[in-house]
Amino acid sequence: MERVQYSLERSLPQLKLLDEHAILSKEELRSVTNQRQNFEARLIRRQAEKADFVRYLDFESDLNSLIVLRARERSREAVERVRAGDEDARSRLLPRTFFAKQAASYSAQCVAIFERLVRKFRWDVDAWIRYLSWAKSRKMRVVAGRIYARALALHPSRPDLWLSAADYELNSHADTTAARALLQRGLRMNPLIDAQDEEARGLKRARTHSGARTAREPGALRWQLTEYEQGVLRLWVEYMRMELVFVERLRRRWRVLGLDSGDAPAPSSSGSLSEAQHAAQSVALDAPSEDEDDEVAFAEAAVDADVPADEDEALKEAPASSNVSSVRPTAGVAVPAGHQQIMSGSIPLVVLENSKRELPPSVQLYLYVALLELFSAFPFFDSTVIQRWGQVLSLRTSAGAHGSGDRLRSRLMQRVLDMVQTMQSEWDGAGALAAYVLSGVYPLYHALSSATPAFTDEHAPPASQAERELADNAYLHGASQLCATYSWVVDGLYAYAAVPASLRHDKTATGQYDPWHLCRPVLFLLQVLRRRLVIEEEEAPLEEAQALPALASHEATEGVAWQPTPYLTMLMQAGDLPSLVQAAVTQFRSADVADEAHNLAFYTVLQYLRTPSRSGIDEPNLLAYLERVSTRQEASLARQVPFVAVEALARSLGDHSLAWTDVEALVDAHNTDPRAWLLYERAARRETSPASPLTFSWSDKEANEASAAHKAWIQILERCTQAAHFHEDTTAPVWGLLSAWMHTPVAKPIDTSYVSRTMARRTLWLEYLAWVQDAAIAAPPAHAHAASEWAWALGKEAVQKTGAVLASSQLVSTARAHAQALHDDIVVRFLARSDSVPARKQRHGTEAGRDAALRFALSSSSASVACWLDLAHATAHADTESEATMAHAVRLYKRATDQAERERDLTLVTTAWLAYLSYLARTRRDMAAALRELPTATTRIRTLGGDEAVVAFEAAWRASSTSS
């Protein structure tokens, strides 16, 4: 208890001060002492919790607020009484030192608590962040600097701490030199190591941070980064932001002093780079000259001895601003060469060159795209800025070097493009595609230059805003905040590299990365461009959506509300959009590439540009131009890529301009491709002439005609549903999926039947069953009985034929999964339509038809466990709750559990039994039946997985039964 007593005695001066001036009563002072004693007793426990420290700090904060509030209210009342002539009220006036002493006491008390907190939980970064936030809120610069130094010494692999410290120096102290030193040291302490390159050089793998070493992925580009790697990339981007802030502050200062160099060319001497670096270290903005607040100075003096300084203080490398001789050019003095290098953007270019050497090639594409976003949105004066959501900001000044900021921005962005081009030698094919697509879409990404007039739309700030910006630097202040934990410039990019679930689900081969490796950069870059051109209502926050131009809604034909960004609107109003699209197409065509991947990438970009809800381009003439270009591209690709030919003919089918000879030529060339046969089937069913192979009607010759149409269907299905054909599905047509997705309006389901073999085969079989069912339903009354029996027989035949494919030993891995999925779909459709034919329904009854179909499926099909569970769930939740329906559900659940046990798959067995028991307990509300089945379930699970599996199963069952 001596430690508790010592801590309480430290607060005696504060209590005496409050008692002397009657701010708190005797009872309140006693209560404060008792509460502090309780808190102190909790802190000295062996297993003290961080929450105890937090509650103690909250108590001190609330107490300080109460004291200050009462003191100010008392002072206000005393002043009013003195002004009213009451001289006795002067005795109630508080001395001028009261608030300073109270601030010092409060700060000392909190510092003592925080110091014990960070010593107790030194590895908890949140504790340090709380300490830093409190010190910065109190404007305690010395204390905050020491805390940063100690926190960084303990946590050097936390990029967010380095960024927070640099932001504090850059914006709170206006000390660019200190911020630069912090960020440079942070980058040295947090390198990213390419494990593949390290092994290739035969180096010994050293232990490092868990996220510092890149994980293995196919190819040279990576798309899924660890949290640590994202932090390091953010550190590089924010380092570049800091250098841009430094350059822009100098540019604005020299503009005010009349020394803006404008278009003066940068010196080309060999020492220009060293001159720029020397100037960067010797030129800094003056720190603010405001006097320290009395309370803050008094408080810092009171806690100076309580906050230790780290011996290896991280901030020692950054010299204070007061020790740097800042250069202040005056009128008539020529700008030194080194300073001219700064004005021309040499320092950011040096940072860009360093990133090429320090970062592994696998993560560089993210960095380059993030830097393009940063350069585009940074508020250089004398430029036009494209902010987030494509909002346009004009900072063109009315006097001076017009467009100097645009020229600087163009120089930086062009250097990034050059870096991407030079990295192709170190990247693989995906990297080459990234460089190809980025250079092609760049004319649309940032079309502004010094020759572009200022944007004068009523929803954007006028050109006179530039003069106001030079006076108050509001936009520059917002852009100079270093993002420690999240930045839309870099962190918002990771979502765009993820392949949408609508393209992955049951449409591609298995594997976490392949086969999307080549398509991923194209998807990523087009998604980034889409953010620049189009805004959907659900994307922009409410306040930002209200600030956008009130344009006409484009939702009638696309099915989703979208609108072009202000940037795209500006291009359309200026009439520049057609020339920019043509420039992009020319750039794609001028690239000296002829391989299939590059041509497919260009084809995908064209599909994107042709979709208004994705690209924002809805001018009819421009869309017609893109369609002509796409048609020519299709003609060159159709000979090697089947899905391109199928898609082209499918569009002709939709336009009613398809020639039957083209369809026949397609199926002759690709006679085992279900995509070609799907087009053949749909074109044949659309034909109204008797020559169509699928023409069908119930007439006096119905037997012969039905036989002919049925033979045509069987011939189509057999040519693409053999065991060997499923192996062709293992290489998923990802380019076709991507191009179809890009050409599908947003918020509409994507139809991949013409580009995916798996989906085309499934669609063929389902349309065949629909054809059979429709033909039976449309039969005249005289043939109703024969039609229903005919449909019933063909449905059973479809189940048997697709199930027979699974018996082949050729089916393995993905091929078997695709064949199983097809058979499951046929079984589900057969059971769903088992009682929909009127004649059979009248003869056998609804329940009898379902029972017969279920008996056949259980005895003759090879459906998977997942299929039986889905059917059981659908049957259990059907609208009818008859005894027959419940009996069907039980049979399906029993089949699922038995089949899972035969396959000896513990996960499937557990899932099936949990679903069955949940049905009994929750759906049928028969807990007694569930408890009777529970011992059987545990016995069978113990046989497969042992006691541990039983424990896990029983825990899951208890959780399920409790929630019900």
The pLDDT, as a whole number, for residue 470 is: 80
Taking CA atoms, 79 is separated from 21, 74, 295, 484, in Å, by 16, 9, 21, 46
Q: At what angle do helices 702-718 and 757-777 cross, to 10 degrees?
A: 170
Which candidate, 348, 515, 305, places its Cα nearest to that of 429?
Answer: 515
CB 390 within 8 A of CB 566: yes
Structure tokens at 407: 């020229």
The pLDDT, as a whole number, for residue 689 is: 52
Amino acid at 449: S
More confident residue, 541 or 963: 963
Vertex 29: Cα angle to 23 and 31 (nearest 5): 135
Residues 360, 431: Cα–Cα separation, whole Å: 13
Question: Is the confidence at residue 381, as pLDDT, over 60?
Answer: yes
* Range with lowest mean pLDDT among 56-60, 148-152, 469-473: 469-473
pLDDT band, residue 706 (cuts 50/70/90):
low
* Range with lowest mean pLDDT among 475-484, 619-628, 728-737: 728-737
- Select, from the ranges 233-247, 308-322, 721-735, 831-845, the one with the highest average predicted confidence (pLDDT): 233-247
* Range with lowest mean pLDDT among 327-336, 509-518, 619-628: 327-336
> pLDDT, tens digit, for every residue of 308-363?
766 554 444 444 333 333 334 444 555 556 677 778 888 899 999 999 888 988 88
The pLDDT, as a whole number, for residue 774 is: 84
Average pLDDT over residues 788-795: 86
Which candidate, 591, 381, 540, places its Cα nearest to that of 465?
Answer: 381
Average pLDDT over residues 453-463: 47
Which candidate, 841, 929, 827, 810, places its Cα nearest to that of 869?
Answer: 827
* Range with lowest mean pLDDT among 69-83, 187-201, 589-603, 878-892: 187-201
CA 228, 231, 233, 236 torsion: positive or negative?
A: negative
The pLDDT, as a whole number, for residue 259 is: 64
Residues 287, 177: Cα–Cα separation, whole Å: 11
The pLDDT, as a whole number, for residue 834 is: 72
Average pLDDT over residues 183-201: 74
> pLDDT, tens digit, for every residue of 668-677?
888 888 999 9
Question: Is the confidence at residue 906, as pLDDT, over 50?
Answer: yes
* Range with lowest mean pLDDT among 372-376, 510-514, 798-802: 510-514
Alpha helices, DSSP H only, in 424-555?
429-445, 465-472, 474-479, 501-504, 520-533, 542-547
Residues 764, 784: Cα–Cα separation, whole Å: 26
The pLDDT, as a whole number, for residue 593 is: 72
Average pLDDT over residues 695-705: 58
Question: Is the confidence at residue 817, as pLDDT, over 90?
Answer: no
Coil, helix or strand at residue 726: helix
Which candidate, 60, 59, 54, places its Cα nearest to that of 121?
Answer: 54
More confident residue, 238 or 13: 238
> What percent of the chain stands above pLDDT 90?
31
pTM (whole model) above 0.85: no
The pLDDT, as a whole number, for residue 626 is: 94
* Range with lowest mean pLDDT among 1-5, 93-97, 305-309, 926-930: 305-309
pLDDT band, residue 183 (cuts 50/70/90):
very high
- Select, from the ranges 409-418, 744-753, 805-814, the one with the highest average predicted confidence (pLDDT): 409-418
Question: Is the confidence at residue 301, as pLDDT, over 80?
Answer: no
pLDDT band, residue 251 (cuts 50/70/90):
confident
More confident residue, 593 or 627: 627
> pLDDT, tens digit, for every residue of 270-291?
444 455 445 444 433 333 334 4
Instruction: Please report where in the chains the tokens 């019900």 appear, as a residue.
Output: 964
Question: Is the confidence at residue 635, as pLDDT, over 70?
Answer: yes
More confident residue, 101 or 557: 101
Question: Is the confidence at residue 414, as pLDDT, over 70?
Answer: yes
Question: Is the confidence at residue 89, as pLDDT, over 80?
Answer: no
* Range with lowest mean pLDDT among 651-655, 725-729, 833-837: 833-837
Residues 23, 6: Cα–Cα separation, whole Å: 24
Question: Is the confidence at residue 421, as pLDDT, over 70?
Answer: yes
Which candidate, 409, 408, 403, 425, places its Cα nearest to that of 377?
Answer: 409
Average pLDDT over residues 10-30: 88
Structure tokens at 769: 């069953």
* Mean pLDDT value across the chain: 80
Residues 653, 685: Cα–Cα separation, whole Å: 11
CB 287 within 8 A of CB 175: yes
Query: What are the helix and strand counts (H, E) for the chain?
Result: 42, 4
Question: Is the confidence at residue 187, as pLDDT, over 90?
Answer: yes
Taking CA atoms, 602 is separated from 131, 629, 874, in Å, by 53, 10, 45
CB 888 within 8 A of CB 850: yes
Which candidate, 599, 592, 419, places its Cα nearest to that of 522?
Answer: 599
CB 896 within 8 A of CB 912: yes
In order, the DSSP letters of 160-212 are HHHHHHHHIIIIIS--HHHHHHHHHHHHHHS--B-HHHHHHTTPPPPP--TTT
More confident residue, 620 or 774: 620
- CA torsion angle for 40, 44, 46, 52 (degrees, to 10)? 30
Number of residues assigned to the chain: 964
pLDDT band, residue 640 (cuts 50/70/90):
confident
* Range with lowest mean pLDDT among 258-267, 418-427, 540-549, 604-613: 540-549
Residues 153, 123: Cα–Cα separation, whole Å: 11
Taking CA atoms, 883 is separated from 875, 887, 889, 913, 931, in Å, by 12, 6, 10, 22, 21
Residues 652, 924: Cα–Cα separation, whole Å: 53
The pLDDT, as a whole number, for residue 283 is: 38
pLDDT band, residue 458 (cuts 50/70/90):
very low
Residues 709, 694: Cα–Cα separation, whole Å: 5
* Range with lowest mean pLDDT among 8-22, 88-102, 107-121, 862-876: 88-102
> pLDDT, tens digit, for every residue of 140-173?
888 899 999 999 999 999 999 999 999 999 998 8
Residues 677, 869: Cα–Cα separation, whole Å: 32
The pLDDT, as a whole number, for residue 422 is: 87
